[in-house]
Amino acid sequence: MNRLSLTLMLAATLAASIGCSSKNYVRQQTTPLINKTNELDDLTAKNSKDIKDVDQRAQAGIQAVQAKATEVDEKALAAGKSADQAQLMASSAAQRVDTLTNTVVNLDNYKPVAETSVLFGFNRDNLTKQAKEALDQLSTNVASTKGYIITVEGGTDSVGSSAYNYDLSQRRANSVIQYLAAEKNVPAHKIYLIGLGKDKPVESNKTSDGRAKNRRVDVHLMTNTGAGTTPAPAQSPAPTASTNPPSSM
């Protein structure tokens, strides 16, 4: 091997050695950068996903709030309509009350058309079969009576406190009113209720028979015109059976 060949071989070997060293150096320098870049890419992807999730939740929340606001608006609108209807009903009721008040004030101008009395059991406010039959008979005169009102006077015997007896007399009168309105189609504003409690007995409260007759509601069909029918005779109320002691209310 001559000197030239040896020189060339050494040069090639040195070049190869230098090339490998350079590649290792570059690899050592660039690998951390590549790894960091990959980490940043992963972090960016995660942040993008988180942002997308937050945006979706925000949009869902906004839609829910908008739906709730719409629902509230609808309820407010419905409440406003209900309030308007209630106001109209209240005004109408007030007008009927005024009319009825004027009617009661001028009660002396009314003449009886028909009347009946219904009895109740001890401490009871429910209508018996006999009571319903009596009210059925009285209501047959309503259709042919012009300008009428119906007065309903509830009563009790003298046993018990005044406060309780007033409440009981009101409940008994209400039972009559509800029956006339629901079963006989008598307008409620045509009926005038009076709860007398024990203040207007028709018999002595010293006997059980007298107390039984005081547990009653008197019903009067009256008219303020001359076209009313001849007053019907008062019906004698039939005693009601009771399983409770006969000496109270």
13-66 pLDDT, tens per residue? 655 555 555 656 556 666 666 666 677 667 677 777 777 776 677 677 777 767
Contact predicate 186/139, CB 8 Å:
yes
Q: Is the pLDDT of residue 246 over 50?
A: no
* Per-residue pLDDT tens digits for 183-241: 999 998 888 887 677 777 888 888 989 888 888 999 999 998 765 444 444 444 444 43
The encoded tokens of residue 82 equal 């209900």
Question: Quick one: pLDDT at residue 127?
Answer: 94
User: Average pLDDT, stretch 81-90?
Assistant: 63
Question: Quick one: pLDDT at residue 106?
Answer: 59
Question: Quick one: pLDDT at residue 18?
Answer: 56
Better-scored residue on pLDDT, 179 or 193: 179
Torsion, Cα 91 94 96 97, to 10 degrees, reads 170
Radius of gyration, CA atoms only, the chain? 48
Question: Quick one: pLDDT at residue 7?
Answer: 62
Better-scored residue on pLDDT, 193 or 140: 140
User: Among candidates 26, 188, 180, 38, which has minimal Cα distance to 116?
Assistant: 180
Instruction: Name the β-bridge partners of 45.
Output: none
- The pTM of this model reads 0.51
Question: Quick one: pLDDT at residue 66?
Answer: 72
Better-scored residue on pLDDT, 122 or 81: 122
Question: Quick one: pLDDT at residue 1?
Answer: 55
**Span of 88-97, 117-126, 142-151, 197-206 with lowest mean pLDDT:** 88-97
User: Which stretches does DSSP call E strand in the chain?
Assistant: 111-119, 148-154, 191-195, 216-223
User: Among candidates 130, 145, 161, 132, which has minimal Cα distance to 221?
Assistant: 145
Cα–Cα distance measured from residue 182 to residue 4, given in angstroms and rounded to the nearest whole number: 133
Question: Quick one: pLDDT at residue 241?
Answer: 37
Determine what percent of the chain is predicted with pLDDT higher than 70: 58
